[in-house]
Amino acid sequence: MGFFSSVKKYKNQDYSKLKKESQSRGHLFIDPEFPPDDKSLFYTPGKVGQVVWKRPKDICTDPKLFVGGASSGDVTQGRLGNCWFVAASSCLAQYKEIWHQVIPDSESQEWDEKKPENYQGIFYFQFWRYGEWLEVVIDDLLPTSNNELIFIHSQSKNEFWSALLEKAYAKLFGCYEALDGGDLGEALEDFTGGVSNFMSLKEARKETNAEEHTALFVKMQKEMERKSLMAASIPAESSEEMEATTDCGLVKGHAYGITQVKNISLEGTGGFFGFGGEKLAMIRIRNPWGQGEWKGAFSDGSEEWNKISKSDREKVGLTFEEDGEFWMSFEDFCKYYDNVSICRVVNTSFFSLAKTWHEGVGHGSWKKPDRVGGCLNNKETFLHNPQFRFDITSDEDEPIMQLMQKSTRGEGGSQNITIGFTIVKVEENRRCRIHDLAYQEIVKSTVFRDSRSIFLRHTLKKGRYVIIACTFDAGVEGDFIFRIYSTTANSFFQLIHNKPEASALNCCAKAPQLLTQLTVMKAHDLEKQESGGADPYCIILVKGTA
């Protein structure tokens, strides 16, 4: 979370205080804000039959938060269509510093056999939500059927961190069913506070050449090294295709966690001592179901693995178990998967040795009557939308930008509206809202999608810019947060005023109350100035006066 970060207590519940109260009363904690009943499960009661809420100590004899640490194999999907969350949890398990943030004080929260009195059936987790971190407290009563967990569970029957994490996340949205359906990057962002980039491989396949494939692989490899969280999916085209397994073993309408991106040497292609050999771009993926794997080249036990030396197979931890995790060539990955989400944790700590970004954050609303202008297609109202100003102070920069709507979850999953934003280059001294685009340069408009967030990384020259955040259709209301990360300070803030305000100190002064700087961008057909006769000047008309 970085230095100086604060955490807000969700529902005003304080973990330490509630734990002490349970100890003093002599009974285990039961969460009144998310009680063990049908309302915490589904909008429609009885959706999964008879449910019995049990504590881990009633399910097994030696419950643990973690068994041998966290790993992607600790997260297996249950009877809920939340593969997007499960895939993100698999990614989370790979990076200790990130899950220590989401599961804070994990050692003190762990069951302690030597101090059984410390066990009060209470845990807490932390999630990022729209610019702030929330501490979510839960009890450890979990929904079961026939003494088995109904939802997320670990391969180790006595390990419960993933099941408890899912319960805390379900509490954040009201019930378990609210997690049914979601975007790949949504949970990744809520675990990290990072910025998620959605990419359509399906669209890229139409035009992508070998060089672009290589560039994408290098990008994903770098993001893996930066400990970015990544997931991929193959969307279903219809309800009949949902969770249908293809001939190659991949599942449609399903999210997979990406757990490794690596160049692997092919045996027998190198020179002296094997140096300089051919390398194959490969990617490791995990099915949240814990089963159901890729059946093509480099699948478990396939003959292609004979091209990889035994030592290199050991280095990548190759196993041929039916555990839902498998390798495939990057070429096949781009061929069969349609969507990828990469969530980068952006470093803003100036105490870090890593690259530091300057952050700009603004909260806004599309609100009637005058802040719901719609996209550029709505020429008369487009500039009625919220506007944010920022500066690029270096000669050139490639800032990271994200518009995120504060969407709600309910029956049927996320309730998103179609959003996007436009970047406009403006005068260097602009401090008020734009009212006319005739003399402004539209630099870039994003795609519009009904997803929670829209990502853009675009090269910009030195100067001042305005972001216009909008919905696709005019008249649609909603709340959002806009974030920008640049190499240098960006002076980001929302433009509120329609025109400059006169200073109270100058209300009685005879001197000019407003100073405006004008930059002449272009001139032509001027008299040659070698003779010294030319004296070019501009005439500026303001409300009809020179």
188 and 207 together in one domain? no
Report the relative pairing of strands 7-9 and 132-139 from DSSP bridges: parallel
Residue 282 lies in domain: 195-344
Question: Which residues are known to be catalytic?
Answer: 83, 254, 287
The rounded distance, in Å, linking the Cα atoms of 20 and 135 is 17
Report the relative pairing of strands 339-344 and 195-200 from DSSP bridges: antiparallel
Q: What pLDDT is attached to residue 524?
A: 79
304 and 390 together in one domain? no
315 and 389 together in one domain? no
Q: Model confidence at 497, in pLDDT bands (50, 70, 90)? A: very high
DSSP 228-269: -EEEEEE--SSTTTTTPBPTTS-BTTEEEEEEEEEEEEPTT-
| pLDDT over 90 (residue 163) | yes
Q: What pLDDT is attached to residue 319?
A: 74
- 27-62 pLDDT, tens digit per residue, is 999 999 999 999 999 987 767 778 999 999 999 989
- Tell me the pLDDT of the chain averaged across its residues: 86
Mean pLDDT of the 70-90 span: 81
- 81-123 pLDDT, tens digit per residue, is 888 888 888 888 777 788 889 999 988 999 888 888 789 999 9
188: nearest Cα among 101, 286, 74, 91: 91
Q: What pLDDT is attached to residue 272?
A: 43
| pLDDT over 70 (residue 484) | yes
Number of domains comprising the chain: 3
Whether 88 maps to a domain, the answer reads yes
- Cβ atoms 127, 169 nearer than 8 A: yes
Q: What pLDDT is attached to residue 94?
A: 75
Whether 503 maps to a domain, the answer reads no
Q: Model confidence at 365, in pLDDT bands (50, 70, 90)? A: very high
Whether 116 maps to a domain, the answer reads yes
What's 363's domain CATH number? 2.60.120.380
- Cβ atoms 157, 389 nearer than 8 A: no
User: In the chain, how long is the greatest CA-to-CA distance?
Assistant: 99
Q: What pLDDT is attached to residue 350?
A: 60
| pLDDT over 60 (residue 287) | yes
| pLDDT over 50 (residue 67) | yes
Whether 14 maps to a domain, the answer reads yes
159 and 244 together in one domain? no
Q: Model confidence at 271, in pLDDT bands (50, 70, 90)? A: very low
Highest mean pLDDT among 280-294, 406-420, 485-499: 485-499
Q: How far is CA 46 from CA 38, 55, 146, 252, 439, in A?
A: 8, 21, 15, 27, 61
| Contact partners, residue 340, CB within 8 Å, separation at least 6 | 184, 198, 199, 201, 220, 230, 231, 232, 258
The rounded distance, in Å, linking the Cα atoms of 289 and 153 is 10
Amino acid at 478: G
pTM: 0.82
